[in-house]
Amino acid sequence: MAGHSDSSSSEKKSSEAMNDVPTFSTENMQNNMKVIYYSRTFMSIIGGVIAGILGFTGFMGFIFYFLVMAITSIGLIAKAKFTVHLYFDSWNRIILDGFMGGLMSFVLFWTYPFFLAVLHGHTIALAVEP
Q: Using one digit for the tens of pLDDT, what is the confidence trace for 73-111?
A: 899 889 888 888 787 787 777 787 777 888 899 999 988
C-alpha span between 95 and 44 (Å, rounded): 14
Quote the pLDDT of residue 85: 79
Quote the pLDDT of residue 126: 42
Residues whose CB falls within 8 Å of the CB of residue 103, separated by 6 or more in sequence, listed in order: 44, 65
CA trace torsion 21, 27, 33, 34 (10° rounding): -170
